[in-house]
Structure 1
Amino acid sequence: MNEAFKQLLNPLYRQIEMANESYLYFGGTAYLGIPQHQQFQELYIEGIKRFGLNNGTSRNNNVQLGIYHQAEEFAAAYFGANASLITSSGYLSAQLSVKCLSALGEVRYAPATHPALWLHQPPQTVGSFDVWATNLIIEINQSKLNTWVIISNSLNNLYPEQYDFSFIERIDQQKKIILIVDDSHGIGVINNGKGVYATLPKLKNVETVVIASLAKALGVDAGLVLGSGDIISLLKQTNEFLGASPPAAAGLYAFMNATIIYEQELNQLKILTNRLSSALKRENSWSFTSNFPVFLSNTAAIEERLFQKGILMSSFAYPDKDGTLINRIVLSSWHTLADIEELILALAK
C-alpha cells in the first residue's frame, strides 16, 4: 500500500484523495463523523469566539473558566454518574486514575487492556475475558486480601467483543472492589450513546470508575472520568490533574450543545452497521459484534485486494508494531448506504 497515505495533507473523511485517485475510507475512530460535521464545526467556532483557542493554565489556577465545571456536571448527568472530571486527553485520564487508585488495593488487569491503563510494564494477562473473569472470582474469594483494583476495557475494538461485567456480582461482597473500565471506544456508541457506565454492576462493595477519550465518537480532544463524588474528589487532588492544562474550552462548549447531533449521527451509524452486519452474517471470514461498527477480517491480504478496488480499510499491527496485520472495516456515520453497497459488492467479488 502507498506509504503516502501516512503523510496525508487533506482531512480524513469517507473519501480520501491520493494521486488523482479517490478511495472509500473505512478506518479510524470517528464513529459519529464529528470531525467533518458542519453543525458541530459551527458550534466549535462559536466556542472559540466565546472562550478563545486554548487555555494553558492548570486546574488549580486562581483564575478559572467556569465552563470546565459546567462541562463536568453536564457529562456526569449525561452519562449517568454522580460526578466527573475532564482532562486534556483520554491517556491523561487513564494514567491519573490508575496511578492514584492502584495504590488502594491489589491490582489485576483483564486481557487486552489498553496500554493507556498500564502502570509500568505490559500486564502478563492472556486468554479470553470469560476465563480470566472466572479465575479472578476464585482468586479474590479465596484470598485474605480485602481490597482489589480490577482494570479492563469495556470492549475490544480490535477483535470486536463487548465484555460482560456481571461476574463482579459473584465476588464475595465482603471484598472491596474498585472497578476501572476504559470506555473510549464505547462511549457515544453503545447503550444508545451513553456508554457502559450505567450498565455496570451497582453493589455496595464496588466502586465503579469509567474513563474515556472523548476524541473518538464524540469528536472532542479531551479525556473523561466518571465515578462517585468521593472518587472524583480524590482524583482531583492528584498532581496529574492539578498540574496539567485543561482541554480547549471551545470543544467542551460544542460537546455540551451537540446532543441532537450525536443522536442523529448514532441513528445513521446503526442503519449502516445493521446493513453490513446483515450482509456478512453468514460469512465465517468476518468477526463482529452486535451494534458495534467494527468488522474484523480473517482473510489474508484482503487489504490489498480492497485497495485495488478503491477501498481503504484499517490495516496495521497493534499493539506490537512487528506483529500480524489487523484488518478491519470501521464504519462512520459519514458513510452513506451507497458506500456500504459498494463495499459489499467489492467483498462479494
Structure 2
Amino acid sequence: MDSEFKSISHPFSSTIEIGETEYLYFGGTAYLGIPRNAEFIDLYIEGIKKFGLNNGTSRTNNIQLGIYDDAEKVAAKRFNAEDALITSSGYLAAQLTVKALSGFENVIYAPATHPALWLENQPFNAKSFTEWEIKTIELINNSTDQSWVLISNSMNNLFPEIYDFGFLENIYPSKKITLIVDDSHGIGINNNGMGAFNNLPKKENIECVVVASMAKALGLDAGLVLGSKEMIKKLKNTSTFIGASPPAAAGLYAFINAEKIYANEWYKLQENIKLFSSKLNINSKFVPGFPAFYINNISLAEKLLKHRILISSFPYPNVNDAPINRIVLSSWHMDSVILKLLVAIE
C-alpha cells in the first residue's frame, strides 16, 4: 500500500480524502462510528467544559473527581458485572489484571491471545480454539495442581469467530480457575452490545474477569476491567492501579450520557451487516452481528483500490506473510456506500 495512506491528516469516517481523491473506507475498529458522531462529540465537549482536558493525578489521591467512581458503576451495570475498574488504556487494563492474577499459578494462553495480555513473548500457537479446549481440559483434570489461570480473547476478529467458554464446565469442580478474557472487539457489539461478560461460566470454582479497550466500539481512550466486587477491589489495590493516572474525565462523562447514542448506532450497524451479508455473492467468513468479513482473496485490496475503496489488509501472522483481507463495516456507512462496495466486489 502506498505511503500516502500512512500519513492521513484528518479523522477517519466512511470516506477518506487523500490529496484531491476521495476513497470509501471499510476498515478500522470504529464499529459504532463514535469518533465522528456529532452528538457524542457534543457530550465530550460538554465534559471538557465541566472537567477540563485531563487529570494527571492518581486515583488514590486524597482529592478526587467523583466521575471516575460514577463511570465504573455505570459500566458495571451496563455490561452486567458486579463491579468495574477503568484505566487510561486497554493495554494497561490487561497488563494490570494479568500481572496481578497470574502470581505463582499455572498460566495457559489460548491461541491468538492479544499481546496486551502477555506476561512475556508467547510463541505463535497455530491450534484452533477447539483443539485448545480439549488439551486444556485434559491438562488441568490430569494434573495434581489445583489453581490455574486461563487467558484468552473473547473472539477472533481477524477470522471472525466468537469463542464459547462453556467447555470449562468439564473441568473438575475441585480445580480453581481464573478466566481472563479480552473483550476489546466484542464489548458494545456482541451479545446485543453487552459483550462477553454476561455469557461466561457461572460456577463457584471459576472466577471470570473481562478486560477491554474502550477505544473501539465505545470510542474512548480508556481501558475497562469487569469482575466481582472482591476481584475489582483486589485489582484497585495493586501498585499499577495506584500509580497510574486515569483517562480524561470528559470522555467518561460522554460515556455515561451516551447510552441512547450507543443503542442507536448499534441498531444502524446491525442493519448495515444485514444489508451487506444478504447481497454479498463471494465466499466470506463472518459472525452474524459482528461487522468484520474475512475474504480469502489476497488480491482483493488491490482490486478494490482501483475503485477507490480501502479495506483492512495487512500480513499475518508475520510481516512477510500474505495479507489477510477484511471488510469492516461501521454504523457511519450509508446504504448507498455499501451498495457501491458490493458492485465493486462483483
Which TM-score band applies after superposition, normalised by the shorter structure?
Answer: over 0.9
* Structure 1 match to 2:222: 222
Partner amino acid, structure 2, of 1:288: F
User: How far, CA to CA, are the matches of 1:134 and 1:71 in structure 2?
Assistant: 39
Q: Aligned partners of 1:318, 1:149: CA distance in 2, in Å?
A: 27
Which deviates the most, 60-69 or 118-127?
118-127
Kindly indicate whether residue 84 of structure 2 is the aligned counterpart of residue 77 of structure 1.
Answer: no
Deviations 1:33-63 (A, max 9, x none): 0000000000000000000000011111111
2:288 to 290, 294, 302: 290
Instruction: Quickly say closer, same or farther: Cα 1:303–1:3, change in 2 above 3 A.
Output: same
User: Which position in structure 2 is the counterpart of 1:316?
Assistant: 314
Pairing of 1:207-246 with structure 2 (within 5 A): 207-246=207-246
Kept in 2: contact 1:109–1:123 (CA 8 A) = no
Aligned position for 1:96: 96
Aligned residue number for residue 332 of structure 2: 334
Measured in 1, the distance between the counterparts of 2:304 and 2:328 equals 14
Which residue identity is paired with 1:332?
A: S
| Distance in structure 2 (CA, Å) of the matches to 1:269 and 1:147 | 41
Distance 1:38 1:85 in 2: 27
Following the alignment from structure 1 to structure 2, what is the Cα–Cα distance between the partners of residues 170 and 209? 19
> By how many angstroms is 1:123 displaced?
4.3
CA contact (8 A) 1:30 1:217 kept: yes
Instruction: Go from structure 1 to structure 2 and tell me whether the alpha carbon gap of 1:13 and 1:124 turns closer, same or farther (over 3 Å shift).
Output: closer
What CA deviation, in whole Å up to 9, does each residue of 1:322-348 have, x standing for no partner? 332121100000001111111111111
Distance 1:126 1:292 in 2: 23
Deviation at 1:19, TM superposition (A): 2.1
For residues 281-334 of structure 1, give each alpha carbon's deviation from its aligned partner in whole angstroms, at most 9, with x where no partner exists. Answer: x633x2111111001111121101100001000111245333321211000000
| Aligned-partner SS, 1:134 | helix
Alpha-carbon distance between aligned partners in 2 of 1:126 and 1:304, rounded to the nearest angstrom: 28
Q: Helix, strand or coil for the counterpart of 2:178?
A: strand
Residue of structure 2 equivalent to 1:262: 262
Cα gap change, 1:105 to 1:266, in 2 (>3 Å): same
TM-score, scaled relative to structure 2: 0.98
Q: Residue in 1 aligned with 2:162? A: 162
C-alpha RMSD over aligned residues: 1.1
**Contact 1:75/1:84, CA 8 A, preserved across alignment:** yes
Q: CA deviation at 1:144?
A: 0.4
- Please state if 1:146 is matched with 2:146: yes
* Divergent runs of 4+, >2 A: 123-126, 317-324
Tell me which amino acid in the other structure corresponds to 1:22: E
Identity %: 56
SS in 1 for 2:50: helix
- Aligned residues of 2:112 and 2:124 also touching (Cα < 8 A): no
Residues 17-44 of structure 1 deviation map (CA, whole Å, 9 limit, x = unaligned): 1121111000000000000000000000
Looking at structure 2, the residues matched to 347 and 52 of structure 1 have their Cα atoms a distance apart, in angstroms, of: 46
Q: Is the 8 A contact 2:298 2:324 kept in 1?
A: no
Task: Establish whether residue 59 from structure 1 lines up as the match of residue 59 from structure 2.
Answer: yes
Residues 1:69 and 1:221: Cα distance change in structure 2 (over 3 Å) = same
User: Which residue identity lines up with residue 282 of structure 2 in the other structure?
Assistant: E
Contact 2:81 2:226 in 1 (8 A): yes
CA distance in 2, matches of 1:146, 1:117: 22
The alignment partner of 1:212 has SS state of strand
Unaligned runs of 5+ in 1: none
Offset of residue 263 of structure 1: 0.3
Q: Deviations over 1:241-285 (max 9, x none)?
A: 1111000000000000000000000000001111111223x633x
Aligned to 1:300: 298
2:230, 2:257 → 1: CA distance?
28
In structure 2, give the amino acid aligned to 1:240. Answer: T
Query: Aligned letter for 1:203?
Result: K
Q: CA deviation at 1:104?
A: 5.0
User: What is the DSSP-based 3-state SS (H/G/I as helix, E as strand, rest coil) of the residue aligned with 2:159?
Assistant: coil
Q: For 2:103, what is the secondary structure of its paired residue?
A: helix
Q: Which amino acid aligns with 1:317?
A: P
1:84–1:232 CA contact under 8 A, matched in 2: yes
- Count the aligned residue pairs: 346
Give, in whole Å, the separation in 2 of the partners of 1:322 and 1:266: 36
Per-residue deviation, residues 197-217 of structure 1 (Å, max 9, x unmatched): 001110111000000000000
Aligned equivalents of 2:292, 2:124: Cα separation in 1: 26
Judge conservation of contact 1:104–1:149 (CA < 8 Å) in 2: no
d(CA) in 2 for partners of 1:44, 1:318 = 36
Matched residues in 2 for 1:314 and 1:126: separation? 22
SS in 2 for 1:252: helix
Q: Which runs of 5+ in 2 are unaligned?
A: none
